[in-house]
Structure 1
Amino acid sequence: MSKKRISVSDVQIGQALKWDVYGSDGGLLLRRGFVVSNENQIEILLQRGMYLASDIGEDEPQIDAEGRKIFPKTVERPSVVRMIAQVRNELSTLSFNLTEAPQARTQFLVLAKKTMIATYLDSDVALGSILLHQTGGYAVRHCVDVAIVSILVAKALKKTDEEIIFLVAACLSMNISMLSQQEHLQAKSEDLSADEQALIFHHPEQSVALLKAAGVHDEAWLSWILHHHENEDGTGYPGKKHSADIPQNAKIISIADRYCARICARSYRKSLLPSAALKDILVAGKSTVDLMLVALFIRELGTYPIGSFVKLENGELGVVTSKGGTATTPYVHVLTDAWGAPLPVPIKRDTHKNLHGIREVLHRDQVRVIFAMRHLWGEIAME
């Protein structure tokens, strides 16, 4: 058995992989049987993948020591939702036990790589998980959500995989000094106390200090955390930096942070509709954010971000599941018919067609249908 580098001729959209695929570091990327569904997946396999070649056919049995035939077991397909859930769980363990983690830097980078691979495998499912799979504590989940959005924007800016991994590591660790208090702050309905305001104001500096103490000394990584609450006009914190002094990756984290916070419900307010969140950032903070970057966010996330609940012109209710021909005409999987009756199987609609155009965006509680992400995207979205 030997390792061989993946080539263009080895991978085709719509075909299952014939081998377990490993990265150059020996870590398993994809199992045999995974169906390649888009060019992003091919790109990551060509850049990072090596497969194990074997003389044994993929459907042929092996023979054990007693001469019995052992047939290949059914291969479990990778699930982006499960990968993201695993990152959330492992990030929580790492973050709340940072002082006891002997290899904290390495562990953050491993989690960053897992997040990037999950997002590259199916960015629609990764984005959908932000709105449709809100399990676990808010504080850690928020950091992972910010990382997913930041990956898509960084990729659109043609940043290298290496830079994106460190950007994701910064997203995952940006609030590490206040994670335990963040759940409490999330649930507050009254004004913040002076101590709570000070905690928020100083958390970029304190997070950097904690990471340094844990062995993280990467200048760029720490700088992006330190600056992710600075504003274009110098009104941010902790250094009141102006636009030219704020790293672009810190600006990406900042906008992703604001977007993900707006689409999450708080005890004192309802979540903003995803379609309105970025517009709200433009209106409420147009002097504080990089408007060109916000425009890129809108382009990448769409006018109707994936995971949004919508009502169509014909009365059907559904979920946005992928981009369409234009920014305003995504594909939607409808969950109910025009009279509100649940469908046995979601049906895909092209909202470019007049009958299936989007009439309005809905909050989750307006769609009284029980469903799972796998009903919309299949095995890659198994929970």
Structure 2
Amino acid sequence: MLLAQGHVIHNDTQLETLLERGMFVDMEEYKAVEALQEPEAKPAISLYNRWTLAIDALEVILPHFSDAPDGLDAIHALADEILELANADADLGLFMAIRQDQAKHLRYGYSHAVHTAFLCGLMTQQLHWSSERTRLITLAALTMNASIAELQTHMAAQDYPALDRQRAQIRLHPEHSVALLEKAGVADSEWLTAVLQHHEQNGGTGYPKGISTVSEAAQVLRMADVFIARITPRQLRQSLSIQDAARCMFKEDKGGPLSMAAIKVLGIYPPGTS
């Protein structure tokens, strides 16, 4: 029997009992027993595996996020994870986005959103956006295609051109994705506008509304979206090289600050290029 520190022995009987049983403990024995009682520390998950798990998570969350009680919280947590991974090792994130195996088109709708979110985060940091706005564009990228993620995955793997009904779904998906976000409780106007306008173009040649003035967040989202799509292989076409995709981006943006931010992030020879 051991006494707690500060415990007072009240009588001779207690003292005799302690003397008979022993008042002291062998510290080495105590430490050994204590070590056995401590739970084993879980091995740390590598950054590489965390990128894969991020895609896994979006595949689980996105199809039902507007109905699930914690769906929006899960989207927020995933955005934080992507930003944390980007800050921990941006080169690895670029490698994961660039070195995509064609077999990965089996999850294209989800991997594309994760890689686009990552690139948006890097671009907006380069543009010196606040951390709040950088987080917001990451959220927008994860949810921009919420209404067609499964369709995108199917189309990336199909060996025939897009059907008319598929094209119609694609054309309407910004509005449908916004409707899902609003149903989930999103009220942030910049987030909703970025998703709604991420296929619009200044000059009125985009969709779904053909507006001529597009928000800055939507422009960033569109640029990252198109760039990641161009460097990702699909069943019917090969991917562009990073350099060719960057040239297209620079030309379309007329060398503006958004394309320059993306090029600065990517560098001349990004990780994963040869």
TM-score bracket for the superposition, by shorter chain length? 0.7 to 0.9
Matched with 1:88 is 55
Deviations along 1:97-142, whole A, 9 cap, x unmatched?
2344112222111110010001100101111111236556111000
SS in 2 for 1:258: helix
Matched with 1:114 is 81
CA RMSD of aligned residues (A): 2.6
CA distance in 2, matches of 1:246, 1:144: 23
What is the TM-score with the length of structure 1 in the denominator?
Answer: 0.59
Matched with 1:278 is 246
SS in 2 for 1:240: coil
Is the aligned partner of 1:253 residue 2:221?
yes
Q: Which has the larger radius of gyration?
A: 2
CA distance in 2, matches of 1:69, 1:194: 64
Pair 1:97–1:281, CA change in 2 (3 A):
same
Contact preservation (8 Å) 2:100, 2:233: no
Pair 1:224–1:65, CA change in 2 (3 A):
same
Pair 1:133–1:279, CA change in 2 (3 A):
closer
Letter in 1 for 2:178: V
1:293-308 superposed matches below 5 A = 293-308=258-273
Counting helix residues as a fraction of each chain, which structure ranks higher? 2
Shift of residue 211, structure 1, vs aligned partner? 1.3
Is the aligned partner of 1:147 residue 2:117?
yes
Of 209, 221, 234, which residue of structure 2 is paired with 1:266?
A: 234
Deviations along 1:218-276, whole A, 9 cap, x unmatched?
2111111011111122101112222xx32212111111111111111122221111121
Contact preservation (8 Å) 1:177, 1:210: yes
Of 125, 129, 152, which residue of structure 2 is paired with 1:182?
A: 152
Letter in 1 for 2:170: I
CA distance in 2, matches of 1:220, 1:276: 31
Q: What stretches of structure 1 of length at least 5 have no aligned partner?
A: 1-60, 311-383
Is the aligned partner of 1:129 residue 2:129?
no
Deviations along 1:126-162, whole A, 9 cap, x unmatched?
1111123655611100000001111111111112222
Letter in 2 for 1:297: A
Shift of residue 79, structure 1, vs aligned partner? 2.2
Pairs aligned (count)? 244
Pair 1:264–1:133, CA change in 2 (3 A):
closer
Contact preservation (8 Å) 1:80, 1:118: yes
Query: Which is bigger in relative contact order (C-alpha 8 A, separation at least 6)?
Result: 2
Q: What stretches of structure 2 of length at least 5 have no aligned partner?
A: 1-27
What is the TM-score with the length of structure 2 in the denominator?
Answer: 0.80
CA distance in 2, matches of 1:231, 1:209: 21
Contact preservation (8 Å) 1:80, 1:119: no
Matched with 1:29 is none
CA distance in 2, matches of 1:68, 1:115: 35
Matched with 1:232 is 202
